[in-house]
Structure 1
Amino acid sequence: MSDPTPVVDDLREESEELDRLVAELSREQWALATPAPRWTIAHQIAHLTWTDRSALLALTDEDGFRALVEKALAAPESFVDQGAEEAAQLPPAELLAQWREGRTALDKALREAAPGARFPWYGPPMSAASMATARLMETWAHGQDVADALGAVRAPTDRIRHVAWLGVRTRDFAHGVHGLPAPADDFRVELLSPSGDLWTYGPEDAPQRVTGPALDFCLLVTQRAHRADLALRAVGPDADRWLDIAQAFAGPSGAGREPRNAGGARP
């Protein structure tokens, strides 16, 4: 993933799709509750605006980003919510304009990043490609929250390959978040893409395996759906445990979604 162009292109398309979903909303619709506790649609877009701005600082102003990290460390439990709350109070047209302006600037900075450069973040430093992947994952996940609030069904695209890749890559991180040792061996992950291709990760002969639709895997690792509602299959106890704790995002694990089907039985 040394060349960030493909994922930056997909990030732009993912952002534009979400933009089309919110651009014509009424003020009342911007205030609709989303599945995230206490967050409206305005909070979701405000959060993306804030994190895009953070990523832009990381790429273009290391001192400015360092100051932002120090502010986060001073209030680790509320920092992200505060950023979303402030921007969510703006008039919808102004918030939308700020989001568009920020993501356009970030797009330019990602494309102009020096090859091989690494940039500071709240965790380990990231390449431009990794930064764009993380931004796409967040844009897609928070876009799902918006769609759910509106009762809209988004047609999945193969842009979620970046989310799936990140979900696989964060397997050991997810164990660490829960205070668990990482599995000793690689897993085999086979996911059916929206276009019908099979995306594969890990050794073909690995005994621990995860299979199913790529969309379901992405919903799981972003905690946008409960495992009981997804058609994912685990073979092996370590793979099974992973599906209960998987997360592709930084920070502590959230409560996730409640199961939709009665009794929470797995399909």
Structure 2
Amino acid sequence: MTNVLAGLLADLAAESAVLDDLVDALPAPDWARPTPAEGWTVAHQIAHLAWTDDWTLLAARDPEGFGAALDTRFGALLSAGVNPVDEGATAGATEQPAALLARWRTGRAQVRTALAAVPADTRLPWFGPPMKPASMATARLMETWAHGQDVADALGVTREPTARLRHIAHLGLRTLGFAFAVHGRTAPEAPVRLELTAPDGELWTFGPADATDVVTGPALDFCLLVTQRRHRDDLALTATGPVATDWLPIAQAFAGAPGKGREAGL
């Protein structure tokens, strides 16, 4: 296992622990609290993470089986007019909170072990483009943080931003072309540079230094944007250049169809 992947998996464990602390002692009725994601409770959020971990394990341990399951299980649900992601979250949300929490804990630990065993250059199948284990770990960290934000918002909790946001910010930039593609638009050729203020005040930079398209602002705000946890108008981000300006309203660091995002002012 490379040092990069080891660090990512450690950060994934740490991010998972932050969310775990929010729900560990949560009374059973509070698992039914609505979150900002329409129709999803706290239980739905944890169930979704557990569901995604199951698919991650399948991709890491049995790539061919992942493809077959995607064709059959996903295909059957889609043919029936059912969103597989919503179905997975809804099914998990019916479990008793203690059982759901235990399942999520077991699954996320298995994911870290499974990804650590995958050769670094192996591309694992996924719902979007195939990913190497380091990218898969980054995606799991991003999702854990994003769904953790939904839970924190539901519980009225403000989480302390950490240096782990750097992984999400980097992923947000790497998925720029994908964000344009899922909106039926050609990916721009001009590069974009990020100049983001980290939680400790350090300046994080990504992208060519001579890029004319630049996004500046707090790293936290950028991560909230690319995970679609806050509306563009509610964030202190500045876009310079046509590509950066066009990108921010459609940015998404997650696979799948474009999300609905959040309404302004919420």
TM category (shorter chain) comes to over 0.9
Residues 1-267 of structure 1: pairs in structure 2 closer than 5 A: 3-70=4-71, 71-76=73-78, 77-260=82-265
- Taking structure 1 as reference, are residues 63 and 184 closer, same or farther at Cα in structure 2, changes over 3 Å only? closer
Structure 2 unmatched ranges of 5 or more: none
Amino acid at match of 1:112: A
TM-score of the aligned structures, taking structure 1 as reference length: 0.94
Q: Percent identity among equivalent residues?
A: 57
> How far does residue 204 in structure 1 lie from its aligned partner after superposition?
1.4
- Specify the code of the residue in structure 1 equivalent to 2:45: Q
- Matched residue of 2:164: which SS? helix
Provide the aligned C-alpha RMSD in A. 1.5
Deviation at 1:107, TM superposition (A): 1.1
Query: What do the CA deviations read for 1:187-229 (whole angstroms, capped 9, x no partner)?
Result: 1211111122211112212111110000000000000000111
Q: How big is the shift at 1:73? A: 2.9
Cα distance in 2, alignment partners of residues 73 and 126 from structure 1: 22
1-side partners of 2:110 and 2:121: how far apart? 20
Q: Aligned equivalents of 2:53 and 2:165: distance in 1?
A: 19
Alignment size in residue pairs: 261
Rounded Cα–Cα distance in structure 2 between residues aligned with 1:143 and 1:223: 13
SS at match of 1:158: coil
1:217-258 superposed Cα distances (whole Å, 9 cap, x missing partner): 000000000011100001112211111111111111121111
Q: Which moved more, 1:238-247 or 1:132-141?
A: 238-247
Following TM superposition, by how much is the alpha carbon of 1:117 offset from its aligned partner in structure 2, in angstroms? 2.0
TM-score, normalisation: structure 2:
0.94
Deviation of the 1:172 alpha carbon = 1.0
Measure the CA separation in 1 of the matches of 2:110 and 2:189. 41
The worse-fitting range, judged by mean Cα deviation, of 60-69 and 120-129 is 60-69
Secondary structure of the corresponding residue to residue 118 of structure 1: coil
- Post-superposition shift, 1:65? 1.7
Equivalent position SS for 1:119: coil
Given that residues 120 and 134 in structure 2 are in contact (C-alpha distance below 8 angstroms), is that contact kept between their aligned partners in structure 1?
Answer: no
Distance in 2 between residues matched to 1:181 and 1:239, nearest whole Å:
14
The one-letter code matched in structure 1 to 2:47 is A
* Structure 2 CA distance for aligned equivalents of residues 202 and 174 of structure 1: 17
Per-residue displacement from partner, 1:115-139 (whole Å, max 9, x unpaired)?
Answer: 3222221222211101101100100
Greater shift, 36-45 or 191-200, is seen at 191-200
